[in-house]
Amino acid sequence: MKCIRCKAPAHVALPSHHSGFCKDCYPLFFTKQVETAIRREKMFTFDDRVLVALSGGKDSLALMLELHLQGYDVTGLHIDLGIPDSSEKARKKVENFCDLHGLTLEVFEMAKWGLPIPDVKAHVKRPVCAVCGKMKRHHFNRIAVEGGFDVLATGHNLDDEVARLFANTLRWDTAYLSDQGPVLPAAEGFVRKVKPLFRLSEFETANYAFMKGIEIHSDPCPYASGASFTGHKELWGELEHRSPGQKFQFYQSFLKTGKPAFAAMEKETGATLAPCAECGSPTSAETCSVCRIKAAVRESKAKDAG
Ligand code: SF4
Ligand code: ZN
């Protein structure tokens, strides 16, 4: 196969785009996809301050580098979860990456805030990943709001989005289906959230990260349990193999026809939000779920101590 841009031997084959690219032209394809996502979904402009959530994995680092190269005003935010060994390694990768490219980075430490993830694992009965995800979303939003950022960008790719959409559809979870998409608009107490990599698959992002020589944190989190999303991604991998382009079509059709219908249904039942009495984040209860979890862990630790 030849590169469809310059006719040199193709290095990456992309059946879903009926094309292939050489090493030099592939990053241009990636850039185009990110540009299209930002423009068509009106994610942000060059005047906006963009906070990018950086885990240390290939998606978030590829996103940060690409937005920086396109000239956007980006600041990285890494949450140090306090998981022995794993969190130290992830943080080092993010710090080295930002140093190398001269990028501004903020680091938020869960341990200093009083709730490292190992404490969640030891003291909360719910699955650790559900609570960890909630904590991360809470702090990403809070820090973006407090820092006066216009938008929070995350590295979710097409495979992440399709796996989540599939899971939500299997449960016909109308609340999540009404919200899912590449842009979640700002609301009182919530910054706008965007996913500029939603047009790109995991494979496509991994290729970009590799070609740009990005050193990523690839060790799995020691607390990761074979999450259902992994199974969903495998199923979708099979479907995509049989019918290239299926993933993107499924997602795009949902955005066009499914999401508006679910959003209309949910509009009727939306809860009223007010600031959390502890931290000020929007919540439908007196204190938000994150503050309640923190208090419960504190109590449980005190009980254990004696
Ligand atoms: Fe948090 Fe679970 Fe991800 Fe580990 S695998 S970082 S515990 S969400
Ligand atoms: Zn709170």
Three state DSSP letters for the chain: CECCCCCCECCEEEHHHCEEECCCCHHHHHHHHHHHHHHHCCCCCCCCEEEEECCCCHHHHHHHHHHHHCCCEEEEEEEECCCCCHHHHHHHHHHHHHHHHCCEEEEEEHHHHCCCHHHHHHHCCCCHHHHHHHHHHHHHHHHHHHCCCCEEECCCCHHHHHHHHHHHHHCCCHHHHHHCCCEECCECCECEEECCCCCCCHHHHHHHHHHCCCCCCCCCCCCCCCCHHHHHHHHHHHHHHHCCCHHHHHHHHHHHHHHHHHHHHHHCCCCCCEECCCCCCEECCCCCHHHHHHHHHHHHHHHHHC
pLDDT score for 22: 95
Taking the centre of ligand 2 as the mean of its atom positions, its distance from the CA of residue 279, in whole angstroms, is 4
200, pLDDT greater than 90: yes
- Which amino acid is located at 291 in the chain? C
106, pLDDT greater than 80: yes
Q: What percent of the chain has pLDDT over 90?
A: 90
Best mutation site among 85, 129, 290 for ligand 1 pocket (most ligand atoms within 8 Å of CB): 129
Residue 219: nearest ligand to its CA? 1
**ipTM of the complex in this document:** 0.98
Mean pLDDT on 6-29: 95
pLDDT score for 227: 61
Contacts of residue 252, defined as CB under 8 A and 6 or more positions apart, other chains included, come to: none
Mean pLDDT on 273-302: 93
pLDDT score for 305: 84
Residue 133: nearest ligand to its CA? 1
Instruction: Give ∠ CA 183-179-281 in degrees, rounded to 5.
Output: 85
Distance (Å, rounded) from C-alpha 79 to C-alpha 120?
A: 15
Residue in 150, 249, 198, 168 with CA at minimum distance from that of residue 41: 198
Mean pLDDT on 214-243: 88
76, pLDDT greater than 90: yes
Domain ranges of the chain: 24-218+226-270, 273-306
Q: 158 near 244, Cβ under 8 Å?
A: no
Q: Which residue has the higher pLDDT, 81 or 264?
A: 81
96, pLDDT greater than 70: yes
269, pLDDT greater than 70: no
* Cα 36 versus chain centre, distance: 18
Mean pLDDT on 257-261: 94
Q: How confident is the model at residue 87 (pLDDT cuts 50, 70, 90)?
A: very high
229, pLDDT greater than 80: no
pLDDT score for 273: 86
What does the block give as tokens for 258? 């499914």
Instruction: Give ∠ CA 281-286-290 in degrees, rounded to 5.
Output: 50
Tens digits of residue pLDDT in 131-159: 999 999 999 999 999 999 999 999 999 99
Taking the centre of ligand 1 as the mean of its atom positions, its distance from the CA of residue 136, in whole angstroms, is 10
The domain 24-218+226-270 is classified under which CATH number: 3.40.50.970, 1.10.1760.20, 3.30.499.10, 3.40.50.620?
3.40.50.620
Whether 184 is in the pocket of ligand 1, judged by its Cβ within 6 Å, is no
Whether 34 is in the pocket of ligand 1, judged by its Cβ within 6 Å, is no
Q: Which residue has the higher pLDDT, 164 or 228?
A: 164
pLDDT score for 267: 77
Whether 132 is in the pocket of ligand 1, judged by its Cβ within 6 Å, is yes
272, pLDDT greater than 90: no
268, pLDDT greater than 80: no
Tens digits of residue pLDDT in 202-228: 999 999 999 999 999 999 899 987 666
**Mean pLDDT over each residue of the chain, to the nearest integer:** 94
Closest ligand 1 atom to 132 CA: 1
Whether 128 is in the pocket of ligand 1, judged by its Cβ within 6 Å, is yes
Q: Closest residue (by CA) to atom 8 of ligand 1? A: 129
pTM exceeding the 0.90 threshold for the entire prediction: yes
Closest ligand 1 atom to 227 CA: 5
Bridge partners for 106 per DSSP: 77
Best mutation site among 86, 108, 117, 217 for ligand 1 pocket (most ligand atoms within 8 Å of CB): 117
Mean pLDDT on 108-134: 95
pLDDT score for 270: 63
pLDDT score for 211: 95
pLDDT score for 154: 98
